[in-house]
A and B are shown apart, each in its own frame.
Chain A
Amino acid sequence: MRSKHSFFKFLAVVAAVLCFVAKGYSKEPYKIGAIFAVTGPASFLGEPEKNTAIMLMDQINKAGGINGHPLEIIVEDSKSVEADAVLAAKKLLEKDKVLAIVGPSTTGESMALVPVMNNAKTTLVSCAAGYPITNPVNERYWIFKTPQYDVSAVDAIYTHMKKHGITKVGIVTIATGFGDAGRKALLSEAPKFGITIVADERYGAKDSDMTTQLTKVKAAGAQAVINWSVGPGQVVITKNWHDLKLGIPLYQSHGWGSKKNIELAGKAAEGVIAPLGRLVVWDKLSDKNPQKALLKKYEQDYKARFKTEPGTFGGHAYDAVMMVVDALKKVGPNKAKIRDYIEKKIKNWPGTGGIFNMSEKDHCGLDMTAFEMVTVKNGDWEILK
């Protein structure tokens, strides 16, 4: 008996040593590609996404990699241009032989990659929100995405409006892919909530004054105005709204979720309402919330390393990378199995964007419950009940 016992002990030690060696001895790295709009007009998306991907790679490798394999994320800049995204994808697929790609940042770039990824039979987890990226699902076999649908953000706003008896709405959108996607969602969802769009205005990405658009919205008899944009435009319009004393509430898109916007708009930002992912308000969530722990860690790590907030958009990359990493952990470097894992096994999966439930019919897996309606009060966020 005794000898048998010690034999087991011996085995255990050997196993432990082997494990230790395996951990230190680097196996062949798992390569993931990442395409983000690090420069160009969509850099507000690509910048935090790239930072997030690099941070996750370092953290995972420090913790021993994926089953002992170091993780290598090769980040390419698409410059916010579709043709460059296509080139970047081809480079990653053929030169670097990546197992999956996360990104790109914008809907247009993601759409341009659909045929490329289907040809290469490799999974793409896009960080852009557009509906056509993952629909129709049967033509998007290899394509997934992590951001909430624009319609979900719109539904959250309209639900809030309905509760407050608002039926006539003026919308102001930025003339870029982001604003246009929001505009389409705002127009298509309105009838479902009994809301009439009385004014539909637009402005350019570099415009310096939107009082004309706001005046028109007010003159059309709107009870509320919704602005759908990212970048300086949403701050300028907030200031204009404040200056004009329109007397109707201003709603912003989920792109509003950065403390920088509050700082730049100053007291003009008070009272602005927006549907935001839980990342920006994690400290105000109850401890029971399954997302809280991971949001806290992500936000604090990011702030410590990059001296700025990750924002909602960095979170899209977090979710995309972690999904692929989870898949790699379970099924190893097999392109087809990675795809199947993400489609079938990402269920009740807490990410920064919400609780994901992927399926054969839904390659996004989020709905409007991913958002909290948040207002600005005393220079800070406040969750509206």
Chain B
Amino acid sequence: MGKSNFFVLICLSILILVFPLIVTDSYNLTIGVFAGINALLAIGLCILMGFAGQASLGQAGFYGIGAYVSAILSINYGLPVAVSMVIAAIVSGISAIAIAVPALRLRGHYLAVATLGFGEIVYVILNELGPGGPSGFGDIPHLNLFGFVFDSSQSNFYLVWVFVILVVIFSFNLINSRIGRALKAIHDSEVASNAMGLDVAVLKIKVFILSAVYASFAGSFYGHFVSFLSPSTFSLFQSILVLMMVILGGATNIWGAVLGAIIITILPEALRKFEELDVLVYGIILTLSILFIRKGIVPLIIDKLKVEKKHA
């Protein structure tokens, strides 16, 4: 982890610590919780895109598996929520292997297409076989760790964002490890990295599993926080939204994913006063941001800072 990343991390941690102390109403805290959940989704996809050069249009599928499996295990089998969440993550990881093995054998855009299909299949299954079918189900227990129940927006805010911080640290370490350097090599030239003796396919699968596990945890957090689930939350639109967060924030930087997630979560709330026109305004803002900051916001900021340093 570089110096600047470490600095940002410290700043973010302080912000997370202080935010619920200043902002005490549960409306803003709830937005914060959702932003954190989205950040988890986006970080997973960001690593996959920025460092393995692969896109996924099925993150909502893993998100849904994480939410449903964890909720069902804790309601129907009475498992502690923390255990259910881990099992859900394992289920997501295994499904990720099942898609990635055939899809990543192929080059090009097949992972994107295969994950699109996967996400839609999960959606159909949740509709048909999920508890409550399309209407969904409620009364999902909150996470209980050593007797402390995470039922308020404040506790969930800390829970989700501490998890985000851990995931960020883990991801940075991964990127700077041998695997990470190998991944960057894949992104630059697959042929060259193959020639250097890196097993590109296995590496890609590993990253893909990781992104699925992150999404799964995001889903579990969502389910145990809102305490109600229905399939509509996990549709293709959600997958596209995650992709939008990463593109907007900048796919080459993990901070980009975090920032993108925060923006995409807050934007619709900020646009509430436009009432029905909010969809239109939302679309226009997205279009303009992609047009003018095509690399993503964070890479743009980094470039600007670099330029300033040169001048100084």
Contact = CB atoms under 8 A, between A and B. Distances in A.
Direct chain A–B contact by Cβ atoms under 8 Å: yes
A107 B228 CA distance: 11
Nearest to A80: B232
A90 B34 CA distance: 13
**DSSP majority for the B interface?**
helix
Contact of A83 (B26, B34, B134): B34
A130 B228 CA distance: 14
Interface residues of A, number: 35
Interface in B106-153: 127-128, 132-136, 138, 153
Contact of A181 (B135, B227, B272): B135
Interface stretch (B172-180, B273-281, B285-293): B273-281
Interface string B23-51: 00111001100100000000000000000
Given A77-B276, A82-B136, A111-B136, A87 B232 contact: no
A115 interface: yes
B218 to A, nearest CB: 12
B277 to A, nearest CB: 10
Given A86-B226, A112-B226, A177-B230, A76 B136 contact: no
B5 interface: no
Interface size class on chain B is 20 to 34
Contacts of B102: none
A367 interface: no
A93 B30 CA distance: 13
B268 interface: yes
Contacts of A183: 133
A180 B135 contact: yes
Contacts of A107: 135
Given A82-B228, A108-B135, A87 B25 contact: no
B269 interface: yes
A107 B233 CA distance: 14
A238 B185 CA distance: 58
SS of A interface (majority): helix
Given A95-B27, A179-B134, A180-B133, A39 B233 contact: no
A130 B135 contact: yes
Given A90-B26, A111-B228, A180 B31 contact: no
Given A86-B226, A108-B230, A94 B26 contact: yes
A175 B268 CA distance: 27
Contacts of A195: none
A136 to B, nearest CB: 11
A177 B31 contact: no
B228 A112 contact: yes
Nearest to B153: A90
Nearest to A88: B272
Nearest to B229: A82
Interface in A21-66: 38-39, 41
A108 B232 contact: yes
B226 A84 contact: no
Given A81-B232, A177-B230, A94 B127 contact: no
A127 to B, nearest CB: 15
Contact of B30 (A76, A82, A90, A132): A90
Contact of B27 (A38, A90, A184): A90
Interface of A: 38-39, 41, 75-77, 79-84, 86-87, 90-91, 93-95, 107-108, 111-112, 114-115, 130, 132, 175-177, 179-181, 183-184
11 contacts: A81-B232, A82-B136, A84-B268, A86-B30, A86-B226, A90-B25, A94-B27, A108-B135, A114-B228, A130-B135, A132-B138
Interface of B: 25-27, 30-31, 34, 127-128, 132-136, 138, 153, 222, 226-230, 232-233, 268-269, 272, 275-276, 278-279
Given A86-B30, A91-B269, A91-B272, 14 more contacts: A82-B136, A82-B228, A82-B229, A82-B232, A83-B233, A86-B226, A87-B27, A90-B30, A94-B27, A108-B136, A112-B227, A175-B134, A177-B134, A184-B133
